[in-house]
Structure 1
């Protein structure tokens, strides 16, 4: 009996460890680029792709995405969204310091310390950081979707109704996640995940959660918009309505993936 108990404890401990390893921590940066800086930003993009690839190789981050905004923001607010992926909350909050980025920039042939700093400084000056948000993934669908250039995403910013924080997350997991999983299995969606805001937080925060709705292209996206689940019961419809009332959908950003580094 004692051996069985020990075995069960070890099993559940291993299960929790695996789940912890699978969690993703992400930093979203909303970037504004003036029209007269468009060419410089393209150079920034190519330069930073190499820098972040070096950071991945050094196991400081697990990935980096660059998304170009198609709709959602007010004109001139921002045009790009970057996502930097981390393996745990500590590395996410520590982030990458300027010294780290300069070190990784020196992977370019013939760049010494001073030249790397100058190139890095010029790259940063080509854009304005409109907002930075730290997030933790708390739910995701079961899928094998591979991110590649042209992938489409709907970033839905949510704010849980005051006093209904847990109710909202429960609704996402128990009501909406199965709906998205069903769409994935029908070929109408690529992937879905729910993220909780780590920083900024508090009653004045613009949003508390974000959902990432991923589609392989516009064809799949529009097919998903037209799809209606005819199999849903009256009880399921009531659960959906209740879930919708637990949050305020603040904004929806539609974006196309320019590059994904893993």
Structure 2
């Protein structure tokens, strides 16, 4: 019996480890750049992409995206122009991802012709030309099953949600059991490329502006608008009620449309 318990416990640990490996951790950074420094910041973006290539090769990150915002509601009056998304394998790497000394070391590896002072000055100048208004640490809760691959020019809708107080679990259940199948149908109908549902990875209080985020990926604007017109003719009355209950369990705070400009994979 004791041997069976030990075997069962080890199996559970292996199972939990595999689940953890399948989870994805993401950091979203909403950025505002001074109008007269946009070209300078886009040059820094190219510099940063090379640095992230080294970061990925060394196992610090899984990937990095640079998105240009097309439209969206202003968050606290800020007119964001860009969003970066950095992907991590585990929460520890995610929390260590903003170590400035690590960034300097990676930059020197990516640009060996630059010395430490030059790298630090370049990073400092970039920090001065932009305002990092919002940084969100997220963990993936659910995603669609597809053969999707990120490519420059793709369109994303970043929908920031806040679960209604007392309905946190109801909302997550609705996204996984009600809305995920709907998005899966859209993908099968070539009306969407990918969808994932994310939860804030750090503890938040009742005053938090958002608790979740959905990332909806489309090949282009034509697919996006066709998707908006989609209506499931086979939906039952019970399923429609489940959709309405799911909508009532969260408050859709902001929606941002963005185009993928640069990526590291």
Q: TM-score, normalised by structure 1?
A: 0.93
Is 1:138 aligned with 2:141? Answer: yes
Change (3 A) 1:131 1:26: same
Contact 1:66–1:258, Cα closer than 8 Å, also in 2: yes
* TM-fit CA distance, 1:13: 4.7
For structure 1, which segment, 155-164 or 95-104, has the greater mean C-alpha deviation from structure 2 after superposition? Answer: 95-104
* TM-fit CA distance, 1:149: 0.4
State the alpha-carbon separation in 1 of the partners of residues 150 and 192 from structure 2: 13
Is 1:209 aligned with 2:212? Answer: yes
State the alpha-carbon separation in 2 of the partners of residues 15 and 179 from structure 1: 28
The one of 235, 239, 249 aligned to 1:236: 239
Provide the aligned length of Structure 1 versus Structure 2.
Answer: 262
State the alpha-carbon separation in 2 of the partners of residues 55 and 68 from structure 1: 22
Gaps of 5+ in 2: none
Q: Deviations over 1:220-246 (max 9, x none)?
A: 111111111101111100110111110
Please name the residue that 1:72 is paired with.
72
Contact 1:160–1:209, Cα closer than 8 Å, also in 2: yes
State the alpha-carbon separation in 2 of the partners of residues 76 and 94 from structure 1: 27
State the alpha-carbon separation in 1 of the partners of residues 67 and 214 from structure 2: 15
For structure 1, which segment, 37-46 or 102-111, has the greater mean C-alpha deviation from structure 2 after superposition? Answer: 102-111
Please name the residue that 2:92 is paired with.
90
The one of 183, 187, 206 aligned to 1:184: 187
Please name the residue that 2:115 is paired with.
112
State the alpha-carbon separation in 1 of the partners of residues 147 and 3 from structure 2: 37
What secondary structure does 1:188 align onto?
coil
The one of 127, 130, 148 aligned to 2:130: 127
Q: Deviations over 1:11-64 (max 9, x none)?
A: 665443322111011111110011101111111111111111111111111111
What secondary structure does 1:53 align onto?
helix
Contact 1:43–1:123, Cα closer than 8 Å, also in 2: no
State the alpha-carbon separation in 2 of the partners of residues 96 and 131 from structure 1: 14
Is 1:36 aligned with 2:39? Answer: no
* TM-fit CA distance, 1:109: 3.9
